[in-house]
Chains A and B, each alone.
Chain A
Amino acid sequence: MTQPSYKEMWENLNLDIEAHDGLLEVLGKFYGDIYMSQQGRLQGMEYLDFVLSEVHGLRIKELMDAKAQGRKIIGTFCVFVPEELSLAVDAIQVGLCAGADAGTEAAETIVPRNTCALIKSFIGFKMAKICPYTESCDLIIGETTCDGKKKAYEAFGEMAPMHIMEIPQRKEASDRELWKSEVLRFKDELEKITGKKITAESLKQGIKTVNDKRRALQRLNTLRAATPTPISGRDVLLINQVSFYDDPVRFTQSINTLCDQIEERIAKNEGIVPENTPRLMLAGCPMAVPNWKLPYIIESSGAVVVSEESCIGTRNTRDLVDESGETVEEMIDAICERYMKIDCACFTPNNERLDNIKKLAEETKVDGVIHYSLMFCQPYTHETFKVEKTLAESEVPMLAIETDYSMEDVEQLKTRVEAFVEMIS
């Protein structure tokens, strides 16, 4: 994947070229094994393959060009950061992925060992200087979600320009007030670093752009659930992952084109797997690029993933911002309202999540659910028990998996997943 033409750009970003080459090599190999080996993929996936092959190339070049024109790059780790506002000051918002075991040893010198892999990974990426996205950011937004992240941002903040948003942990009136003041504080910060003012017009456009992106993903999520399954779960996961760093307008267009192709496939009653393949839903912690381990194991064990309840899945696309607001104030309220619907495990209580999982399991007619939590993730591991209980009420079997990014447990995971698939088929 290494294009010599980008080397200068990477050097300018102060990446560790050797370590970075190593990362690209692993990424390329993973991608080849897990994605390119699939049979009968839709033509529209070529766009995704292209985007991924250029993830550290062309897309970074676009970011550099945008920066040269004076636009700012905002990095995020969590779906709580309203992209609508970033777009309204003509900034580019990118999700910083943190899905690979890299720089873990270095990370463990500043965060405890019993920290989840996602956190170690974003710290590790920074310390090893291998992520061109992290290095391109003019500002990185942290949020006070789980304790692990909250404290890790203190260490991370010493290495990168950060702004921390406080996310309430309950959904009472006082929490909503707090959240609104945090959204306003984020708005001020954006206006400060870009020197641009958010206007009713720019915010309306920002809302529309992000809603359109969500609508395209909603459409995809409905279509993917058809029987026989028209697209692999891995491919949909990839699409969701790419939605965090691609240009939103271009992405929306490409996904709608892909959806047209899926519709054709459905009309012909064609599937990527036989009609009687067991259908599974994945629920739990977000899976960042290139964390494709579990979906790959599932889909090579004779099952197919047809829905995803995670931040890199329906949690991020389920709700839209109301578009009827006309003034900045009204629109900010609509944004606050929408983001407070996020059912992250950091909230207490968090019963909406249980309801949403139950509903999604019904809608996508799954034979079982695999609940995935990253090792040492308190919020999601806790909720595993509740999710299992809720699903048991509707007689949906669930398998709980706790793992990280390393490959040492792949064989055990395969046995478990295969046994679960045997059990439900």
Chain B
Amino acid sequence: MIAGIDIGSRSMELVVLDGDKIILKRKLPTTFDPASQIKKIMDGVKVDLISATGYGRKLMTEELTGTPCTSLTEIKAYALGISHLFPEARTILDIGGQDTKAISLFKNGKVAKFEMNDRCAAGTGKFLEHLSTVFQIPIEDFGSYALEGSEPLQINSMCTVFAETEATSLMAQGKNPHDIALGLHGSIVRRTTNMLNRVGLVEPLVFAGGVANNSCVIKMLQDSLFINPLIPDEPDFAGALGAALFGRSQQKIL
């Protein structure tokens, strides 16, 4: 049995594979103490190998878990996970808690090119999360809240802090808050579309990562790309699944 774990900045996901079958899935927030969260998520899990991805991948060590560990980057993990779920996929968009990735795949599922946001969290899940608190709307509902708007107001800044300033000044002008929220979603979509174009967008496109749960981002992506992105059932588990698959391939080599 192999465990794949994706330790992101906001949450960590675990997938346990027995042969081809997923026998366990778990999710926990990462918090400021990832090491103890790792212990919690691994509680009672007995596997032969743990394969870790995500920004905290290097935290996963044999000392901590008592199990042999290996690691891979999120880019490769998403490529593996998504091609497993959608073997025909050619482009992946992953919007997670703190970064956004656009990955183009060769026909055989290998990574051809990728783009990643650099040091700042503009246009990521963090951006939405922060702005949803400004609206005092739970993050899960922020997408449908925005979809109630009819006319997206232009938000020019990609930066979380400046976008908040723009949003509050629009509120002060008495603009419809749903339209403002729609505009904020639009700015994420603009940014990710640019990234997708840079890696060369070829269909089918798979949209994964936590933000793929947001109905408004999905709708706006469809409208601006004229593409219907494929979305996995649990989009935030794609990385952990990919990690587990990688672990399985490593085990075959070992």
Interfacial residues, chain A to chain B (CB-CB below 8 A): 397, 402, 408-409, 411-412, 415-416, 418-419, 422-423
Q: Is the CB of B72 within 8 A of A415?
A: no
Contact of B119 among A408, A419, A422, A423 (CB under 8 A): A408
A411 to B110, CA, bound (A): 23
* Interface assignment of B99: CB less than 8 Å from any CB of chain A: yes
Judge whether B116 and A422 touch: CB under 8 Å.
Answer: no
Contact, CB under 8 Å: A415 / B76: no
B119 and A418 contacting across the interface, CB-CB below 8 Å: no
Contact residues in A for B74 (Cβ distance below 8 Å): 415, 419
Asked if B118 and A422 sit within 8 Å, CB to CB, the answer is no
Q: Give per-residue flags for B72-111: 1 if the beta carbon is below 8 A from chain A beta carbons, else 0.
A: 1111100000000000000000000001000000000011
- In the complex, what's the smallest C-beta–C-beta distance from B71 to chain A, in angstroms? 9
Report which of B55, B110, B113 forms a contact with A415, defined as CB distance below 8 A.
B55
- Contact check, B118 vs A409: say whether CB atoms are below 8 A apart: yes
Q: Are A423 and B110 in contact (CB under 8 A)?
A: yes
Q: Are A423 and B118 in contact (CB under 8 A)?
A: no
- Please provide the chain B residues from 54 to 79 with a CB less than 8 Å away from any CB of chain A in the complex: 55, 72-76
**Given known contacts A402-B118, A419-B75, is B110 in contact with A412 (CB within 8 Å)?**
no
For the A-B complex, the count of residue pairs with Cβ-Cβ distances under 8 Å equals 35
Set of chain A residues within 8 Å of B135, measured between Cβ atoms: none
B55, A419: Cβ atoms closer than 8 Å = no
Q: Which residue of B lies closest to A409 (CB)?
A: B119
Contact B114 A419 (CB under 8 A): yes
Given contacts A419-B111, A423-B111, contact A412 B72 (CB under 8 A): no
Q: With A and B bound together, what is the CA distance between A209 and B99 in angstroms?
A: 51
Of the A-B pairs whose beta carbons lie under 8 Å apart in the complex, a sample of 25, sorted by A's number, is: A397-B113, A402-B118, A408-B119, A409-B119, A412-B99, A412-B116, A412-B118, A412-B119, A415-B55, A415-B116, A416-B116, A418-B73, A419-B73, A419-B74, A419-B75, A419-B76, A419-B114, A419-B116, A422-B73, A422-B76, A422-B111, A423-B75, A423-B110, A423-B111, A423-B114
7 closest residue pairs by CB, A with B: A419-B75, A419-B73, A409-B119, A423-B111, A422-B76, A418-B73, A415-B73
Chain B residue at smallest Cβ distance from A404: B119
Interface residues of A, dominant DSSP = helix
Whether the Cβ atoms of A422 and B55 lie closer than 8 Å is no
B103, closest chain A residue (CB): A419
Q: How far is the CB of A294 from chain B (nearest CB, A)?
A: 13
Minimum CB–CB distance for B99 against chain A, Å: 7
Q: Which residue of B lies closest to A398 (CB)?
A: B113
Q: Once the chains are docked, how many angstroms separate the CA of A416 from the CA of B114? A: 9
B-side contacts of A415, CB under 8 Å: 55, 73-75, 116
The answer for the CA separation of A411 and B55 in the assembled complex, in Å, is 8
Which chain B residues lie closer than 8 Å to A397 at the CB level?
Answer: 113
- Whole-angstrom CA separation of A402 from B116 in the bound complex: 12
Of A402, A408, A409, A416, most B-chain CB atoms within 10 Å? A416
Inter-chain CA distance A408–B121, complex, in Å, is: 13
**CB closest residue in chain A, given B110:** A423
A185 to B236, CA, bound (A): 65
Question: What's the nearest-Cβ distance from chain B to residue A412, in Å?
Answer: 6
A418-B73, A423-B75 are known contacts; what are 6 more A-B pairs with Cβ within 8 Å? A411-B55, A412-B119, A415-B75, A419-B73, A423-B110, A423-B114
Separation of A415 and B103 alpha carbons in the complex (Å): 14
User: Which residues from chain A contact B112 at a C-beta distance below 8 Å?
Assistant: 423
**Across-interface contacts of B75 in A (CB, < 8 A):** 415, 419, 422-423
Closest residue of chain A to B56 (Cβ to Cβ) is A411
List residues of chain A with CB within 8 A of the CB of B73: 415, 418-419, 422
* Distance between Cα atoms of A408 and B55 in the complex (Å): 14
Rounded to whole angstroms, the CA-CA distance of A412 and B118 in the bound complex is 7
Residues of B within 8 A of A411 (CB): 55
Q: Whole-angstrom distance between the alpha carbons of A411 and B116 in the complex? A: 13
